Amino acid sequence: MTFTDVHTGYGYDDLPRLMSLMTGDEKHGPAATSTLDVVWVLYDRVLRVSAEGVDAPGRDRFLLSKGHGPMAYYAVLAAKGFFPESLLAGFGAYDSPLGHHPDRVLVPGVEISSGSLGHGLPLAVGSALGLRARGLSGAAVWVLVGDAELDEGSNHEAIAYAGAVGLERLHAVVVDNGSASHGRPGGIAARFEAAGWSTATVDGRDHEALYEAYTAPHPGRPHVVVARVEAKV
């Protein structure tokens, strides 16, 4: 799907207005706003992907596992020119490509259809393995998960396997808004560290701290950034 009416002159300050164009899923508003800064810094300063190269074999991949409440994700994609702002007002309508869960077939730049929790991290592991097998060593895989989503057992298998095989091009971002039912002894980062991951824990609203954590070297190991944001109420 291609568009001819795309505007690309947006900045971070435009995101609240872009998000306000999407209505009808207010119950997932906190899920969306919790991811806003981590997604923006990735697309603005880290990911090697563009609207012109959404199918480039060597592109970086970003997988939104926390697929419920994708308004921030859509706002960032629109701001970066993947589709026009005019689509945002139709969010959730029967004839809109922008559903309440992202659809990789309908939305340019979306790598996975998500929303059912616990799938994104295992898919990211598979993507990183596939890129390694194809010799695309420069392509990075990033996946965003929520802290409560880590209660799903599939994530723990993925964490253990990725650490064991040293998936250096795999990166996870855990948005921690204190909504997990069970939690983990020692905190989220400790779970990943025990499996051999490189870890960083930062303020999920601090763009410089996020950038430094995203770009920290981690030779021979996958990397996770735990981004702490305000608690969900």
Measure Cα distances from 27 to 34, 84, 91, 165, 233 in Å.
13, 25, 14, 39, 11
- Indicate the CATH number of 12-228 among 3.30.750.24, 3.40.640.10, 3.40.50.970, 3.40.50.300: 3.40.50.970
Radius of gyration of the chain (CA): 17
Q: For 105-147, how does the pLDDT look when each residue is reduced to its tens digit (9 = 90+)? A: 999 999 999 988 899 999 999 999 999 999 999 999 999 999 9
- Distance CA(105)–CA(112), nearest Å, equals 9
Question: Where are the chain's structural domains?
Answer: 12-228
pLDDT tens-place string over residues 2-27: 554 566 679 999 999 999 999 877 76
Predicted TM-score (pTM) of the model is 0.93
